[in-house]
Amino acid sequence: MELLFVILAIALGIQVAVVFLLVSKYFETRFSYVIWWTAGAALLAGQALVEVWMLTAAPILPLVGIRSALLLAGAGFFLTGTASRDPRARGIVQTGLLGFGGLVIASVIVLLSRQESTDTARLVAGLAAGMAFLLTAEAYRRTEQILDDVATRAVFAGLLAIGINQIGWAWVQRTPQVIAASEFLGGLAVAVFGAGIQLRSVGRAQRLVVLSQISAALSRTGRVGDMLEEVLHQAGRLLQLHTGWAFLHDPVTGTYELAAAFQLPPGFEHDDRKALHGSCRCLDLLQANELTQPVNIVDCMRLDRLGVKARHASVPLRTTTGVVGLMNLVLPSGRLFSQRELALLSTVGSEVGVAIERSQLLDELQDKERLRSDLIKKLLTAYEDERRRIARELHDETGQSLTALILNVEMLRNLVEQGRGASVDELDRLKALAEATLEEVRKMIYDLRPTILDDLGLAAALRWYVHHQVEPRGLVVGLKLELGDARLDPVLETAVFRIAQEALWNTVKHAAATRVDVALALSDGRLRLRVKDNGRGFQDKRRSGNPLAGGAGLGGMEERATLLGGTVRITSAPATGTEVVAELPLPAPAA
């Protein structure tokens, strides 16, 4: 008898411990279903206590009634809590309530009508509670969808075992030994359930640690390669990875290249990590857009080639615009990532993707900043060069002409003083000299800023520029200016004139072309300029990663257009020449 009490005390102790565990889980998580489970476990413990009590006293009916009621209520609480976790399990709640409620009513009727039969009451209550636990286990499985880790399996198995334990003993004649055995097995099942709950919370805490460490790593480092290296290192340490590596998409070559690695096996390190270059199944899937979520890749060709029998998880690194890379993580042999771990990796993958995007945007911003400051420098230099040119022209040409004019006037004055009079020829020469000087001054003024642009507008200024600067250099120009004499916003007119001037001057300077076509048109509230030559074409070096390559002309064109909310598209090929298309919106009329 003593031994039976010890066994029952152990079973009771386990149940009380699980109740305390659940209370602490509730304070940790604040999930309402944990309260239901706590209440259920407390009632089961109460039921075990009454059972112990009944061993010492005669099994009188009220005690049997109380025990059965505690058992049924406990089972009901478990079922309610579990089903309430998932709205899709409503069907189970209804079935549970109907079946379970029917059994409760049946047991009450049995208790009331056949007061002498405690065994029947036990049988009915045991069956009802057992069924309720089986339903609870099923509801839990449905909510979790997949039981692929130890924690969820333990919770499910615990609930199932409690149910089977109740149903199994319902048929057996109750002796003290049977009671002790059933309570002991029930205690064990509750212990398995409690262990599962505890493991789940450890897993949750571990996932939080992984996420926070990885977030910290992502905010610490700036370069994409270093960032991936750090993430792999953290993930490797926290998830006990065997090895791991990451590929990044190279926008220039369009291929995926190795960007970081963690604890590579010796075979991979060999020959400059040759085994990690080139295509493989996971990259093929990624490129075919079939790898959108982390998956356990069953066989890895690279690992296969090395003779390593292991599988890896492939985690796509996603940004807002698409996939930029792939992380492959290998667990020690025989272990695969559970669904929950894959979901965690999915979050990690998006976090890394966002960080990569941020870093790329920063790089882009820095490039643009560098380009802008280079343009400003070039602009200032050009400004000074222009002043130097004007000073030189004023000195060499206008100054010389005016000096010659003064000398000639002086000479004429002397002649007049000596009473010899000035000849008509000499006066004509002087006039011609003055006219040539005026022409030079006019040319300089036009070069500085064609007054025609202010006086007559964009179309007239373009026509003037073509006739005076382009055609004299041997180019045939096709002009198609569909603006008429319409006047546009002066800022817009200047910008388009300067873009056309740069495009035409580039054609003169670089294209070795024989013909250039200039078209200007207004449509849909946008001004469209197209300059197309039939010259040698070129490769825009700025597109191949160096925005500062070449002169400031192309960058300046784009900068001018961007400032006014427009675009410049440059298409060029050796066979077809160069086409510059600028599109700028007309400014909204002032309110």
H or E element in which residue 269 lies:
helix 266-273
Both structure tokens of 320:
């807002």
Tell me how far, at minimum, the Cβ of 534 lies from ligand ATP, in Å: 10
CA separation for the pair 169, 34 (Å, rounded) = 28
Phi and psi (nearest 5°) for 548? -100, 0
- Which residue in 17, 538, 564, 585 binds ligand ATP (CB under 6 A)? 538
Tell me how far, at minimum, the Cβ of 570 lies from ligand ATP, in Å: 8
Place of tokens 């698409």: 322
Both structure tokens of 133:
């636990």
Q: Does 551 bind ligand ATP (CB under 6 A)?
A: yes
The entry of Mg ion, ligand ATP, none near residue 135 (CB within 5 to 8 angstroms by kind) is none
- Which residue in 533, 534, 560, 566 binds ligand ATP (CB under 6 A)? 533
Which is nearer to Mg ion, 129 or 466 (by Cβ)? 466
CA separation for the pair 110, 116 (Å, rounded) = 10
Query: Angle, nearest 10°, between helix axes 552-563 and 339-393?
Result: 110
Binding segment toward Mg ion, per CB under 5 A, in 6-14, 227-235, 465-473, 548-556:
548-556
Q: Does 490 bind ligand ATP (CB under 6 A)?
A: no
Binding segment toward ligand ATP, per CB under 6 A, in 54-62, 66-74, 259-267, 536-544:
536-544
The entry of Mg ion, ligand ATP, none near residue 535 (CB within 5 to 8 angstroms by kind) is ligand ATP
Place of tokens 């050009």: 382
Query: Angle, nearest 10°, between helix axes 150-170 and 61-84?
Result: 150
Tell me how far, at minimum, the Cβ of 300 lies from ligand ATP, in Å: 47
Q: Does 578 bind ligand ATP (CB under 6 A)?
A: yes
* Strand order across the beta sheet in which 312-319 lies: 256-262, 243-249, 322-330, 312-319, 295-297
Q: Does 510 bind ligand ATP (CB under 6 A)?
A: yes
Binding segment toward ligand ATP, per CB under 6 A, in 20-28, 210-218, 276-284, 530-538:
530-538
Tell me how far, at minimum, the Cβ of 586 lies from Mg ion, in Å: 27
Q: Does 328 bind Mg ion (CB under 5 A)?
A: no
Measured in whole angstroms, how far is the alpha carbon of residue 19 from the centre of its chain? 43
Binding segment toward ligand ATP, per CB under 6 A, in 406-414, 448-456, 467-475, 533-541:
533-541
Tell me how far, at minimum, the Cβ of 503 lies from ligand ATP, in Å: 7
CA separation for the pair 377, 365 (Å, rounded) = 18
CA separation for the pair 255, 236 (Å, rounded) = 26
Q: Does 506 bind ligand ATP (CB under 6 A)?
A: yes
- Which residue in 553, 555, 556, 566 binds Mg ion (CB under 5 A)? 553
The entry of ligand ATP, Mg ion, none near residue 552 (CB within 5 to 8 angstroms by kind) is ligand ATP
DSSP 8-state secondary structure symbol assigned to residue 396: I
Which is nearer to ligand ATP, 203 or 553 (by Cβ)? 553
Which of 176, 125, 122, 209 has its CA nearest to residue 5?
Answer: 176
Q: 104 and 79 in contact (C-beta within 8 Å)?
A: no
Tell me how far, at minimum, the Cβ of 521 lies from ligand ATP, in Å: 21
Which is nearer to ligand ATP, 351 or 533 (by Cβ)? 533
Which is nearer to Mg ion, 91 or 551 (by Cβ)? 551
Q: Does 246 bind ligand ATP (CB under 6 A)?
A: no
Kindly report the CA angle at 541 between 538 and 546, in degrees rounded to 5? 175
Which is nearer to ligand ATP, 174 or 536 (by Cβ)? 536
Q: 540 and 500 in contact (C-beta within 8 Å)?
A: no
* Residue number, nearest CB to Mg ion: 553
Binding segment toward ligand ATP, per CB under 6 A, in 42-50, 299-307, 323-331, 529-537:
529-537
CA separation for the pair 541, 591 (Å, rounded) = 43
Burial of 81 (0-12, 13-18, 19+ CB in 10 A): buried
Integer angstrom CA distances of residue 42 from 14, 21, 403: 11, 11, 115
Both structure tokens of 322:
């698409």
- Which residue in 457, 535, 547, 566 binds ligand ATP (CB under 6 A)? 535
Which is nearer to ligand ATP, 88 or 543 (by Cβ)? 543
Burial of 92 (0-12, 13-18, 19+ CB in 10 A): buried
- Which residue in 136, 166, 234, 506 binds Mg ion (CB under 5 A)? 506
The entry of ligand ATP, Mg ion, none near residue 533 (CB within 5 to 8 angstroms by kind) is ligand ATP
Kindly report the CA angle at 308 between 306 and 310, in degrees rounded to 5? 135
Binding segment toward ligand ATP, per CB under 6 A, in 256-264, 397-405, 410-418, 548-556:
548-556
Which of 58, 348, 95 has its CA nearest to residue 218?
Answer: 348
Binding segment toward ligand ATP, per CB under 6 A, in 297-305, 404-412, 428-436, 508-516:
508-516
Q: Does 556 bind Mg ion (CB under 5 A)?
A: no
Q: 440 and 397 in contact (C-beta within 8 Å)?
A: yes
Q: Tell me how many residues contact ligand ATP (CB under 6 A).
A: 16
Q: Does 511 bind ligand ATP (CB under 6 A)?
A: yes
Which of 28, 132, 42, 36 has its CA nearest to residue 84?
Answer: 36
Binding segment toward Mg ion, per CB under 5 A, in 142-150, 169-177, 380-388, 502-510:
502-510
CA separation for the pair 579, 513 (Å, rounded) = 12
Which is nearer to ligand ATP, 166 or 501 (by Cβ)? 501
Place of tokens 């505890």: 198
**Binding stretches for ligand ATP (CB under 6 A):** 506-507, 509-511, 533, 535-538, 550-554, 578
**Binding stretches for Mg ion (CB under 5 A):** 506, 551, 553
